Amino acid sequence: MNTNEAEPQGSAFFFARTGPPPNGALWEKQGRKDMIKTTIRTVAAASVLALLTGCGGSGDTNGGKEAAAPAGKPAWNAADACTLLDKGAVGVALQQDVAETQLSLVHEADSGTAATSECLYLGKDGASVARLSARWSPIGDNTAESIAGARTTTAAAVKAFSDTPVEDIARLGKAAFFVPGINQLTVFFDDKRMIVLTVEKAPEGANARDIALALAKKAGG
């Protein structure tokens, strides 16, 4: 099932959902660890995508290329992130059933603002096992400068909570980087398309980085 939820548009997209309010069990050791991971994931993704919001303003940010949005929706529809990565593929990668997806934080593109959305992949118990945030810019503003800024912002956000370094990923799109520990992969496929993919429930003993890379390649088409 793919559930569309009415959410505020614009900058609201860049704040990932963190689930229900904490209960008493979350104050146990593992619960505190999970809360910290969730906070880091949220802050890192929010920082990257909020920075890119500022890159999508007026003016020529595409090296003189045509800046007008094409007629109709792009084939790669960032306003429906759940269509970019099938829940069945996520289930196979995570070795568990993905019962449903939830689409939220949807913003349709216009001539000057990007299309964005977030897809949550939920396990049989209703808990989120992965999430995919997508962005498509009609003006092609995934420049070298904005990508470098996004990486720097991510590293700074993560450093506030952890000493985990950001890893650059070669030969994946225009640029990509991964944050171990929170298992979050950011990929700039080209001038217009980018994603932030988080693997929240990797199988025991599995390499979450490899899982994220494989799923990102599927999401990129």
Total count of domains within the chain: 1
Instruction: Give the confidence band of 74 by pLDDT, cuts at 50, 70, 90.
Output: low
Instruction: Give the confidence band of 34 by pLDDT, cuts at 50, 70, 90.
Output: very low
Residue 17: pLDDT above 50?
no
In the prediction, which pLDDT does 46 show? Answer: 52
Residue 124 to residues 86, 97, 101, 127, 211, Cα–Cα distance (Å) = 16, 6, 11, 7, 20
Residue 102: pLDDT above 60?
yes
Q: Give the tokens for residue 148.
A: 């470098």
Residues 123-134: what's their mean pLDDT? 96
In the prediction, which pLDDT does 57 show? Answer: 39
Burial of 111 (0-12, 13-18, 19+ CB in 10 A): exposed
| Contacts of 203 by beta carbon, 8 Å cutoff, 6+ apart | 94, 95, 96
- Condensed to tens digits (0 to 9), the pLDDT of residues 165-179 reads 999 999 999 999 999
Percentage of the chain exceeding pLDDT 70 = 67
Contact 54, 85 (CB under 8 A): no
What is the extent of the structural domain holding 51? 2-16+23-220
Calpha distance 173→194 (Å, rounded):
9
Residues 72-86: what's their mean pLDDT? 88
Calpha distance 168→176 (Å, rounded):
6
